[in-house]
Amino acid sequence: MSFDTIIIGGGLSGLTAGIALAKAGQQVALAAAGQSTLNYFSGSFDLLGYDAEGKVVSRPLDEIKNLPANHPYAKIGADAVAHFAAEAQTILTEAGIDFKGDASGNHSRITPLGVPRPAWLSLDDCLTADTDFRIPNFNFQILNIEGFLDFPVEFIAHGLEHMGAQATTHIVTLKIMQANRKSPYETRATSIARLMDNDEILRDFAAEVKSKITNLQPNTPNHQPSAIVLPAVFGINGIEPLRKLREMMGVPVFVIATLPPSLLGMRVQNLLRKRFTELGGKIFHESRVTSGFISAGEVISIASGYSETVNADNYILATGSFQSHGLVADYRKVSEPLFNLDIDAAPSRTGWTKTDIFDSQPFMGFGVSTDSNLHPFKGGAPVRNLYAVGSVLSGHNALAQADGTGVSLITALAAAASIVG
Amino acid sequence: MSNNIAKKEYDVIIVGGGITGVGTARDCAMRGLKTLLLERSDFATGATGRNHGLLHSGARYAVSDSASAAECIRENMILRRIASHCVEEHDGLFISLPEDDLSYQTQLYEACHRAGIPADIIDPEEAKRIEPAVNPALTGAVRVPDGSVDPFRLVRANELDARLHGADILTYHEVTAVIRRGGSVEGVKVRATQSGEEFEVRGRVVVNAAGIWGMLLAQMAGVEVKMFPSKGALIIFANRVNKMVINRCHKTSNGDILVPDGNVTILGSTSDRVPIAECDDMRVTPKEIEILLHEGTKLVPMLASTRMLRAYAGVRPLVAADDDASGRGISRGIVCIDHEKRDGLRGFITITGGKLMTYRLMAEMATDLVCAKLNVARKCETAMIALPDIDNRVEDAPASLRRGSRAVALRDEKMFVCECHKVTLGEICDTISSGQAETLTQLRRRTRMGMGKCAGRLCALRSARLMCSVGKKDAAQSGRDLADFIGERWKGIYPVGWGTTLADGQYMASVYQGLCGLDQFSGDAQ
């Protein structure tokens, strides 16, 4: 089989690159294997949340000039980052992903522990604070579903109160869940979301909520308005179930991400995959690419679980970091397992980690090094028809800088633009 | 509570909440003594909770120390009887490799028989059949009745039984001074570490069961116990690779023992002298990891590609033999010092050395001495009377392994908070609401929550929430506790931070810092 471009990796960066290329008319194949980091997606995309000192960045595009030269944004250039940030918003919108925010200024998402973290775009479902990081002045009614362990309402209530809002917690019983509660797997966010996709169950749930919270205040001049905060367990394929719930409740309804698996991440993945295949892209599911062959500075072919080797004019490496097996650390060294590309990493293992987990961990910044066109190097020479995107890249830190999903989106689009020319 | 304690006059005050201390408290209480146990932190925070959990057959000491070996096999058989819910019986092998002298096997075999340890020399092919993980290059094997023992369950069972027999037990109460009048110890000064409250408590005999920290307690009493803190590093693997304990059939050395326990395997250990000041914050070094893996993969080659969960280290309280202050005569056996006899100090006893699984005998020796001083004639019964809750196992509730028949009461809420160790919502809520766990680390020691393969990726946060809803903790406080807990897990991960362990560490950090913003609760951020 032959394609214009083959993408290795089915996470956020791989799917985004695939959509951009398919939109431009390319024949694109994407090999997806295992879980991506969308498994713990927060509901928000971040572009650049913290500077080198750990201070919150309010205008991410203005901060790019201060990044070190090996950061993927610095390689692409500030103007190009702004351009691709706008394109990313278009791509997400076209895929049916409803969101708020833009690259001109960060806002805050509210984490499952009730604390703010800077964000660039947040799914429309999510409770967020504004660009001045202020929480809207609601009387928050925070609800959990009985038997659901992965939504820590006490932390959220505490956090919202800390930000100056009023907050009360409630537990709602969902009858259909009671029968299933013996198995922990039935009470995952994604399993509950499957139930909530059923209109009848959703109506029952809304009735339960209304019976629990009897003093819901609409937004009238004399009262502090109420808003409902729920775990993100609504809408595997879109925001529709939450919209219905908003109509039924008559007051603002927001969600906050749960512990993994993330329903919001699953939704983003489903919608991006749908968009990609509608544009003619081909996904090879459960297809782990096992090796790639480079000769004279070009990728010749790749091999996977399928017996057939496939080839293309261009390849995109979107295999992620250690947790996605895009990078591998053994006792002695860090390597890139498919092509054995050149790696930016501390040579000695003692330099990989720091003793405090919340310190900026060196290994988070390890990855393949590239030139300004995102061509990775092998043996010191760039590979001309290979592009590296997303978390497999060196020079950024998704935790300390809050730039993970942004790097995935921006570098995917930069690589696609470079391929299309 | 402290007020009541301070008013009481105790027969015996035991200092130290490791297995030796709680075992001694049980024995003393069973003999009718008015007993108080004081622990400065939580139960099992020293060597008790930081070893490989081997239920020694004694074979490991048979050649070098026949008396210790005989102690081990006797206690081994007793624990199988009195603490069957804390013991896993799976036997062990002593394997010889091509570079080992097979004549040591004969020595070991004969020494085992002299010490009363049932040992069989088996064919290497037979060894491979019963233990498929073993290095196939082995040239010989001896089968012995090794097993594993869960120190946390064992401490819990002894603590519970001591209380049932009337003992008072205070954790987070530190002894700050030993009260002496002339040549007699009359009690201790105590500080409650959480409230800062200080008070004195009187007792006719004080038993020093403080492990390596016992040398400091002895100093407070004005006597010297010469100890040599010996650090032992260990690695826990995420799978149970071996069915049986695998030892190397040679003179005891580094990394030559592999103990299966539940669904994990533990590789131990190293042995290095460390200063006492280091004992409160042990860190595993890259060198120790290298030694352990180099030796461990000789026992079971598959270890080289087995996922490591974390590394940890404990301190053996090695003691100079009774009258040898030079330290040359270090004993690995039990040391029970009557300071009246040795130093002329009445009412003070040190019980130390020994091993996790000889704790009962240590407790018996210390209690016999206490009883002799107090003219109490009642004999020790701990070898005969089973620990509580071993009867009526609840077949389908994993908590039964930890709680025995008490698990029945916890059956209602069967959802798992910790999926790795099948710790149910009922068990977590009960442990919190009954006041047994104020922190996640305590909850981990009581229930095994967060000790499994996932390194607490879901259960720690779920439990932190239950600390708020059930334990009525403030979210900020519970968040700090969670940050400490995850930080502590990381301390075990980074020394073995490569391979899938690093990948798992990255996932854990991504969930807790990235998704949740837990760093905002950590000490520095507050």
| pLDDT tens-place string over residues B332-342 | 689 999 999 99
Is residue B29 within 8 Å of residue B167, measured between CB atoms? Answer: yes
* Residue among B181, B183, B200 at smallest CA distance from B191: B200
CATH superfamily of A2-99+267-420: FAD/NAD(P)-binding domain (3.50.50.60)
- Token pair for residue A112? 């499952």
Is residue B443 within 8 Å of residue B463, measured between CB atoms? Answer: yes
ipTM of this predicted structure: 0.96
What pLDDT, on the 0 to 100 scale, is given for residue B404?
46
pLDDT of B97 > 50? The answer is yes
The CA–CA distances, whole Å, from A121 to A49, B192, B306, B360 equal 12, 50, 40, 62
Domains A2-99+267-420 and A127-256 share a fold: no
Chain B partners of A150 at a C-beta cutoff of 8 Å? 458, 461-462
- Token pair for residue B231? 């650090």
Longest dimension (CA), chain A: 74
Q: Does B344 touch chain A (CB under 8 A)?
A: no
Chain A partners of B311 at a C-beta cutoff of 8 Å? none
Residue A197 makes CB contacts below 8 A (sequence gap 6+) with A235, A236, A237, A241
Average pLDDT over residues A330-351: 95
Q: Does B461 touch chain A (CB under 8 A)?
A: yes
* Residue among B117, B142, B119, B120 at smallest CA distance from B67: B117
Across the interface, which of A113, A349, A399 has its CB nearest the CB of B479?
Answer: A113
CA–CA dist B450, B464 (Å, integer): 11
* Residue among B207, B137, B152, B198 at smallest CA distance from B173: B198
The CA–CA distances, whole Å, from A120 to A47, A269, A403, B98, B510 equal 6, 18, 10, 62, 18
The CA–CA distances, whole Å, from B200 to A323, B42, B163, B188, B370 equal 54, 20, 21, 6, 21
- Look at B498 and A330 and tell me if their CB atoms are within 8 Å: yes
* Domains observed in chain B: 2-47+152-226+324-374 (3.50.50.60), 88-147+229-315 (3.30.9.10), 399-525 (no CATH)
What pLDDT, on the 0 to 100 scale, is given for residue B187?
96
- Look at A40 and B514 and tell me if their CB atoms are within 8 Å: yes
Measured CA angle at B438 (ends B432, B440), to 5 deg? 85
CATH assignment of A127-256? Answer: 3.40.50
Across the interface, which of B425, B478, B506 has its CB nearest the CB of A323?
Answer: B506
Model confidence over B161-194: pLDDT tens digits? 999 999 999 999 999 999 999 999 999 999 999 8
What pLDDT, on the 0 to 100 scale, is given for residue B3?
63
Model confidence over B405-434: pLDDT tens digits? 444 444 456 678 888 878 888 889 988 998
What pLDDT, on the 0 to 100 scale, is given for residue B481?
96
Q: Does B513 touch chain A (CB under 8 A)?
A: yes
Mean pLDDT of chain A: 93
Query: Could you tell me the sign of the dihedral formed by the alpha carbons of A66, A70, A71, A75, in that order?
Result: positive
Sheet of A253-256: strand order equals A166-172, A139-145, A226-231, A253-256
- Token pair for residue B441? 């680390």
CA–CA dist B37, A52 (Å, integer): 50
Query: Could you tell me the sign of the dihedral formed by the alpha carbons of A63, A64, A65, A70, in that order?
Result: positive
Model confidence over A222-234: pLDDT tens digits? 667 889 999 999 9
Residue A162 makes CB contacts below 8 A (sequence gap 6+) with A114
- Write down the pTM of the prediction: 0.88
What pLDDT, on the 0 to 100 scale, is given for residue B401?
45
Measured CA angle at B434 (ends B431, B438), to 5 deg? 65
Domain boundaries, chain A: 2-99+267-420, 127-256
- pLDDT confidence bin for B322, thresholds 50/70/90: low
* Residue among A104, A159, A166 at smallest CA distance from A137: A166
Q: Which residues 269-308 in chain A show a CB within 8 A of chain B? A: none
Percent of chain A clearing pLDDT 70 (strictly above): 94
Across the interface, which of B457, B476, B509 has its CB nearest the CB of A357?
Answer: B509
Model confidence over B225-258: pLDDT tens digits? 988 899 999 999 988 999 999 999 998 889 999 9
What pLDDT, on the 0 to 100 scale, is given for residue B389?
67
What pLDDT, on the 0 to 100 scale, is given for residue B228?
87
Across the interface, which of A184, A187, A329 has its CB nearest the CB of B499?
Answer: A329
Other Cβ atoms less than 10 A from the Cβ of A206: the count is: 18
* Residue among A372, A352, A373, A364 at smallest CA distance from A396: A364
- Token pair for residue A44? 């928000």
Is residue A125 within 8 Å of residue A232, measured between CB atoms? Answer: yes
